[in-house]
Structure 1
Amino acid sequence: MTIIKSLRPPDYLSLTALLFAWISIILIFSGQANWSIITMLVAFAFDVLDGHYARKLGINSRFGRQLDSFVDVLTYLVFAALLFHAFLSPNSFLSIIIGFLILSFGISRLIRFNHEGIIIKKNRKFYRGLTVVHISLIVLICYFLQEFVPCWNGWFSTAILAIFSPLMISNYLSYKFEKLWILAIISLGIAALALFSQYAH
């Protein structure tokens, strides 16, 4: 019960993100790719809000950082690996390889982030390496390309993810978007594509 008593308001947002992330995983297993994507976007929204709320309240707890990272593993990495396996992968062997790359490099990236945090250069904030959100976005792009572009197939997706997954532990600096309206527009665009794929494609 001590852990429950120590939870702060942003932690409850993280746990809400975890709930929707789990629902999105269940939907993948149910063959509902588009609804899984939409549910993942809800998880993403709560994940963004927990960090925004924590900064607004000036809360910076070690427990909160660890909780957020573990939630990120399910929300972005497990989601990306399973979406690839269920809807993009040419075969089970490649699902094992690409899934392992996504999970291993992604978890390593989260551990490094917890150690070094945000990088600030010339008053601008960056993440070191491609983020777990980016790799999830790349899987989504591959999914929609396969849905709407006839010549696209799982082999292209496999090659792209094999190239981009290791970049999560690279020294490449990813700009940190802090304007929520930009993230909202991107999320709404992805949701619109998922709904179009579900009902009109």
Structure 2
Amino acid sequence: MNNNSINIRVIPSIFTLANLFFGFLALVLTMDGGFKLAAGLIILSALMDSMDGKVARKLSVSSDFGMELDSLSDLVSFGVAPAILTYRAVLQDQLGYWGILLAALFVLCGAVRLARFNVLDIHTYFVGVPITFAGGFMGLILIFRGMLPWLVYPICLAILAVLMVSTFKVPKLGK
């Protein structure tokens, strides 16, 4: 291999880091009031997240490092970013401090869900709703903020938080 070529093992991590980058940008845009664009970036993070694992398997370069990096990225992009976005865009004005607690519950349940996923060696289904789905769903419905009743957001946040730590078997699609 010459000095100018990229090591094939880092290619999936580029997608994972893009996921994290878009999650970070969603947080910055949320702070600046760019709620719809922040929601769109969460969805873009989901696209990057779907690509990293596929690329790793296709190139036969899956690794424990990649799995850990993916989990850390997912916690930011699909836990912290949608929770803070939901809080700032809807819950802050409607629920005040209770909104902070609800948003925190979503993040905490997402972290537990990711930790549980990393220690279970199950390849045919997920235990609990994946954080990628939960955060992506919140991002999707936040695009429609103003068109849906405000109560939809805290209810979805609470239900998804519980579903992430539930013991429901969720089939893995595309396997």
Report deviation, 1:156. Answer: 3.8
Residue 170 (str. 1) matches residue 166 (str. 2): yes
Alpha-carbon distance in 2 for matches of 1:13, 1:156: 32
Residue 91 (str. 1) matches residue 95 (str. 2): yes
Which is bigger in relative contact order (C-alpha 8 A, separation at least 6)? 2
* Unaligned segments of structure 2, at least 5 residues: 1-6
2:39 is matched with: 37
CA-based RMSD:
2.2
Aligned residue type for 1:176: K
* Unaligned segments of structure 1, at least 5 residues: 121-125, 180-201
Aligned residue type for 2:84: L
Alpha-carbon distance in 2 for matches of 1:118, 1:104: 22
Alpha-carbon distance in 2 for matches of 1:52, 1:82: 29
Residue by residue over 1:13-68, the C-alpha shift from the partner in whole angstroms, topping out at 9 and shown as x without a partner, is 21122112111111111101111122222222221111110011122211110000
Alignment of 1:40-119 (within 5 A): 40-89=42-91, 90-119=94-123
Alpha-carbon distance in 1 for matches of 2:138, 2:115: 22
2:132 is matched with: 133
1:182 is matched with: none
Alpha-carbon distance in 1 for matches of 2:39, 2:156: 20
Alpha-carbon distance in 2 for matches of 1:53, 1:137: 20
**TM-score, normalisation: structure 2:** 0.84
Aligned residue type for 1:102: F
Aligned residue type for 2:23: A
Structure 1 segments, 4+ long, off by >3 Å, are none
Alpha-carbon distance in 2 for matches of 1:169, 1:105: 6
Judge conservation of contact 1:21–1:39 (CA < 8 Å) in 2: yes
